[in-house]
């Protein structure tokens, strides 16, 4: 029915088409991937990670200036004034641009868009119980603080990425390819460090930031340790994450599946971008 409506819209030559005729169309999305690889990766990089000249189009957790299919379609077709993003009108057909749009949108989806099946209530019990996940992770104010807060896990990560984190040693989230960072942030990963001060005090924890002169460590004692490197006797970067990666073995198949069902429902899809809000105040206008 939806397909019929879309086809009818295309046939009627609707001027400002806003819905993407290739949404959910596997062959179209795959062709979009191929077109993206031919046209877009040089600037934007592969798989939605950022490239050499352009921003990443599908980096989990980032917000986008263009969210709807129509906005993405227009940016590809007409370019973006004031930037080096060129217009592709004449080089690509509208149909091809819609396919690329469908591919880009697909890259952006996270676990919450298609949660894994399973017993969610049981999965939550595994999280707080046998899985001991709450020792390090917090959800809506409950749990430990040393690991990442998981309240919006499924809104940020893909299902495969969540399963990898539970099962694959040295799992890591790939960074933004060759792009330079645009803002200063805490470390995107949680490397484990052990430092010893000149007084002989040892602190072990996860590194939240560092530079050549200082370190900011969230200790396993759940305290922040703000350290001047020049006062340290010893710094050890431990090679392994604190995150266990054998949950598919330490849990039964049902327990694991239910845990994934629970985790892939944590959070909400990212809200559409909105213009900045001016709050009432005493500023003279």
| Contact status: 222 vs another protein (CB under 8 A) | no
DSSP annotation of 66:
-
Beta strands 138-139 and 142-143, pairing class:
antiparallel
Are 234 and 196 spatial neighbours (Cβ–Cβ below 8 Å)? Answer: yes
* Minimum distance, C-beta of residue 50 to another protein, in the bound complex (Å): 9
What mask of x and - would describe binding to another protein in positions 231 to 260, judged by CB under 8 A?
--------x---------------------
Which tokens in the block code for residue 280? 């009432």
d(CA 265, CA 30): 27
Per DSSP, the three-state class of 3 is: helix
**Contacting another protein within 52-111 (CB under 8 A):** 52-53, 81-84, 86
Residues numbered 156 to 195 that lie near another protein (CB under 8 A) are 170, 172, 174-175, 177-184, 187, 191
Q: Which residues contact 211 (CB under 8 A, 6 or more apart)?
A: none
Q: How far is the CB of 66 from another protein (least distance, A)?
A: 16
Interface with another protein (CB under 8 A), residue from 12, 160, 212, 274: 212
Query: Read out DSSP for 157-204?
Result: S-HHHHHHHHH-TT------TTPPPSS--S-SS--EEEEEETTS-EEE
* Rounded least distance, CB 263 to another protein, Å: 23
Complex with another protein: residue 90 or 239, whichever CB lies closer: 239
134 near another protein, rule: CB under 8 A: no
- Tell me the number of residues near another protein by CB under 8 A: 40
Asked if residue 51 binds another protein (CB under 8 A), the reply is yes
Of 71 and 210, nearer to another protein (C-beta) is: 210
Q: Which of 150, 123, 125 is nearest to 138 (CA)?
A: 150
223 sits near another protein (criterion: CB under 8 A): no
For another protein, which residue of 210, 232, 243, 244 counts as binding (CB under 8 A)?
210
Q: What is the dihedral of CA 95, 99, 104, 109, to 10 degrees?
A: 120
Residues that bind another protein (CB under 8 A): 34, 36-42, 45-47, 49, 51-53, 81-84, 86, 170, 172, 174-175, 177-184, 187, 191, 209-213, 239
């Amino acid at each position: 029915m939806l397909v019929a409506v879309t086809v009818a819209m295309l046939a009627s030559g609707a001027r400002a088409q806003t819905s993407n005729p290739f949404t959910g169309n596997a062959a179209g999305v795959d062709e979009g991937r191929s077109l993206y690889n031919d046209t877009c990766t040089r600037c934007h990089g592969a798989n939605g990670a950022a490239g050499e000249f352009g921003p990443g189009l599908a980096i989990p957790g980032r917000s986008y200036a263009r969210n709807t299919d129509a906005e993405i379609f227009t940016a590809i077709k007409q370019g973006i004034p004031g930037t080096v993003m060129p217009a592709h009108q004449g080089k690509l057909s509208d149909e091809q641009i819609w396919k690329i749009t469908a591919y880009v949108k697909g890259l952006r989806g996270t676990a919450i868009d298609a949660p894994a099946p399973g017993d969610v209530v049981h999965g939550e019990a595994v999280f707080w119980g046998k899985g001991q996940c709450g020792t390090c992770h917090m959800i809506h104010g409950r749990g430990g603080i040393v690991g990442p807060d998981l309240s919006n896990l499924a809104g940020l990560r893909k299902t495969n990425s969540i399963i990898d984190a539970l099962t694959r040693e040295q799992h890591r989230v790939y960074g933004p390819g060759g792009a330079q960072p645009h803002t200063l942030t805490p470390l995107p990963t949680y490397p484990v460090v052990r430092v010893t001060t000149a007084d002989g005090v040892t602190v072990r924890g996860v590194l939240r930031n560092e530079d050549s002169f200082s370190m900011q460590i969230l200790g396993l004692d759940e305290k922040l340790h703000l350290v001047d490197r020049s006062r340290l006797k010893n710094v050890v970067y431990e090679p392994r994450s604190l995150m266990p990666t054998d949950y598919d073995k330490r849990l039964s198949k049902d327990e694991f599946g239910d845990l994934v069902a629970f985790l892939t429902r944590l959070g909400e899809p990212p809200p559409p971008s909105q213009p900045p809000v001016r709050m009432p105040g005493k500023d003279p206008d």
